Structure 1
Amino acid sequence: MSAHRGPPGPAAHAAPAPRPVEVALLASVFVIAACGLVYELAAGALASYLLGDSVLQFSTIIGSYLFAMGIGSWLSRYLERQLPAHFLRIELLVALAGGALPALLFLANAYAPGAFRVLLYGLVLLVGVLVGLEIPLVMRILKRNVALKDLVSQVLTFDYLGALAVSIAFPLLLVPQLGLIRTGLLFGLMNAAVALWALWLFRHELRRLRSHAAACGLTLLALAAGFAGADHITTLAEDKFYQDRVVFTATSPYQRIVVTSGRQGHRLFLNGNLQFAERDEYRYHEALVHPAMAAHGAPKKVAVLGGGDGMAVREILKYPSVESVTLVELDPNMTQLFSQHETLARLNGHALASPKVKVVNTDAFRWLDEGTDTYDVIVVDFPDPTNFAIGKLYTSSFYALLDKRLAASGYAVIQTTSPLVARQSFWTVVATVESVGLRATPYHAHVPSFGEWGYVIASHRPWRLPQQLPEGLRFLNLQSLPQLFDFPQDMARVPAEVNRLSNQVLVTTYEREWGQVLPAH
């Protein structure tokens, strides 16, 4: 008599537990996705630092990378046998090409600038093809034991999770703490670790196990040596790129900061662009600050937007009437550097340590929008509009907010690039200031490190020449001041379009004009 069979128990329908190989490969998908995105972001960040126009650089690099991944996925169809061996070799190639990408680009920018773009896109395409090969190979290896519907969902889930993790960590943790070169090498080590992991997982399937093990070991050793010597690589590149000795470097989420020292003093570079030179910065900052401050007569509340080096604040504090100065600087690395580094703090006269000065590390656009206080003088000292992130600070939307925060009798002054080299850009800023109902009074000064440089005073009332200036100025005096407001024929006003958030014409105009006089990579 046979026993009655009841309904199957829960265990009968339970899915089989994942095998260790499956778990390991899915974990490797997470790492692969993270590494691939890091290489893509590093290439985009470096191109933005060195070539400008972040939107263009990231767009073309992301597009090239995705195209290359598609090519890699298509090529994977031709890998039919020994899939674990192919996967291991590809991982090692990605580790070397992707891990070394930032270091190679830094060195190329310094030693072979003419080849920079070729190397940039060559590496992006190479890494993209290799990464495009990886995921199809993993899926085909897992297909042996995982149903197709589960396979696709699991692989893509881990792929997207890896990308999410890195997209958050890259700007907030990796670049500020490690810099681009070490970040690339760290993730190259992670790719090599995946290869080593694959070596162990498939040790019974791989031929020439010792050769594969030696390749893994050499790759890990090379990347580890690069990681340990990353500072030397950076120094090697920057000592060649900059004429003088590099005395300080830092990479923040916003920019690459470099300070050099030479026979003509210290110089500050942001993303490779000169911001001031010690030998003549007094010309730039006296011209920026005093025409507006002295015209007011007795300013009490002053705001500085940008200008984290503190030089403009130094000039503002020469007026006894000033009771408070609010310095709004996005990058805390800048204000810390110029308040804590003894030599650099000396350049600004330790202005940032004054009890009258309040430092606010935030976006100037947001600060204007969220506040209600008005100011007697507002000094706007942003870098030139080399990309759309900075370009928004030169738009009619920004100047409308500036208008609301300016006292009725106040003056704002804006640094406005060169009216000689970038004539159209200069008058675009003037037209944009006027478009929000402010009076615009343009002027210019000669700064040897920059050439002819321009500024615009924005106000509700007509600007008038001041009757006195602070004592001890090295450049400006009452006799020469009127000449700053006279424009020769080659800098005279030309028709210009208003720069709006919706079009950002200034960025493309600026890039075109400066591109005609600066050597391109």
Structure 2
Amino acid sequence: MSERDQVIHRATGGPLEVILWREPDGSISLTIDDYWQFISRDEHVFHEVLVDPAMIAAASTRRVLILGGGDGLVARNVLRYPGVEAVVLVDYDPQVTSMALEVPELVELSEGSLHDPRVELIHADALAFVADPSLGGTREPGGLFDVVICDFPAPAHERYAPLFEAPLYAQIAARCTREAPVSVQVSVDAPDFWPILAAVGESFPELEPRVANLAVDQGPGEDGDWASFILASRAPLEARRALAPQARFLAEHPPSSLVVVNRSGADFETR
């Protein structure tokens, strides 16, 4: 057995195969159906770029909807901000949320976010959830959300394609306030990114696409593990509160420095 094959936790009883691994350097990583999800040594980069710009721009942080994110890492970052009263987390596979609730290594990494009483877990398909206005969490059924974070799997497989198409974002628009920021992790190359940006923009015309190198030991222009994101809203996007003090990557790389300025082409261009 290689060092990479050290399994901390394996769950195969549900719709997906979920494995938490121990890496040779002591980091932990998560795979779902053999697709890499995160590695602990640099996941803070991904989750800060996905979550924190939305929380900074939100007119209110009272009610937050997380679609995906069953590992608790998005919720961790959300809960770092003042004013959060309710977080509704919708994830398809209870195996993932169970891991975040029970496996000590992931509980520690997520700062126990899923144990926070403000977090309500709903095990459902994101498409079905946003399509039903009566579903808004048991504490405020049908209520509108002030922030929406979409931590979907990258659209590498055709079964995930509907998560990045215009109808979903039209339904999300009906579930959130006009001022709500909506953040989406996309993580595809530029040519495949532009149609997704356009799809989101049909419902949320204020757009801030971003890219970030998740390899913390590499700089701009170097090869690395690059991820792409969309921050969108129906209202102008502007900073309304300070960055969470726990932020590391964005403390050194302001969100504005990661914004993509082009809207076509084979590569991303940043400011």
Q: Pick the TM interval, shorter chain.
A: 0.7 to 0.9
| Higher share in strand | 2
1:478 CA drift (Å): 7.6
Give the match for residue 126 of structure 2.
364
Give the match for residue 215 of structure 2.
448
Q: Among residues 436, 445, 450, which one is paired with 2:203 in the alignment? A: 436
Give the match for residue 416 of structure 1.
186
In 2: Cα distance, 1:407 partner to 1:467 partner: 18
Whose RCO is larger (CA < 8 A, sep 6+)?
Answer: 2
Q: Is contact 2:184-2:231 (8 Å) kept?
A: yes
- Pairwise mapping of residues 181-260 of structure 1 onto structure 2 (< 5 A)? 239=1, 243-260=4-21
Give the match for residue 398 of structure 1.
168
**Does structure 1 residue 378 correspond to structure 2 residue 139?**
no
Q: Among residues 229, 234, 244, which one is paired with 1:460 in the alignment? A: 234
Give the SS at the match of 1:355. coil
- Pairwise mapping of residues 42-57 of structure 1 onto structure 2 (< 5 A)? none
1:376 CA drift (Å): 0.5
Give the SS at the match of 2:9. strand
CA spacing shift, 1:478–1:296, aligned 2, 3 Å:
farther
Q: Is contact 2:155-2:186 (8 Å) kept?
A: no
In 1: Cα distance, 2:229 partner to 2:259 partner: 10
Q: Is contact 1:469-1:478 (8 Å) kept?
A: no
In 1: Cα distance, 2:128 partner to 2:11 partner: 25
Structure 2: gaps (5+ residues):
134-141, 217-223, 267-271
Letter aligned with residue 373 of structure 1:
G
- Pairwise mapping of residues 82-101 of structure 1 onto structure 2 (< 5 A)? none
**Does structure 1 residue 270 correspond to structure 2 residue 32?**
yes
In 2: Cα distance, 1:380 partner to 1:479 partner: 22
Letter aligned with residue 476 of structure 1:
L
Give the SS at the match of 2:74. helix
In 2: Cα distance, 1:310 partner to 1:397 partner: 27
Report the more deviating stretch, 431-440 or 266-275.
431-440
Give the match for residue 220 of structure 2.
none
1:416 CA drift (Å): 1.0
Q: Is contact 2:62-2:146 (8 Å) kept?
A: yes
CA spacing shift, 1:462–1:255, aligned 2, 3 Å:
same
**Does structure 1 residue 322 correspond to structure 2 residue 96?**
no
Give the match for residue 287 of structure 1.
49
* Deviation by residue 1:128-163 (Cα, 9 ceiling, x = unmatched): xxxxxxxxxxxxxxxxxxxxxxxxxxxxxxxxxxxx
In 1: Cα distance, 2:162 partner to 2:253 partner: 36
Q: Percent of aligned positions with the same letter in both sequences?
A: 28
**Does structure 1 residue 343 correspond to structure 2 residue 117?**
no
CA RMSD across the alignment: 2.1
Give the match for residue 243 of structure 2.
469
Give the match for residue 201 of structure 1.
none
TM norm structure 2: 0.86
1:291 CA drift (Å): 0.3
Give the SS at the match of 1:243. helix
| Higher share in helix | 1
Give the match for residue 261 of structure 1.
22
1:345 CA drift (Å): 0.9
Structure 1: gaps (5+ residues):
1-238, 497-521
Give the SS at the match of 1:408. coil
Q: Report which of the two structures shows the higher radius of gyration computed on alpha carbons.
A: 1
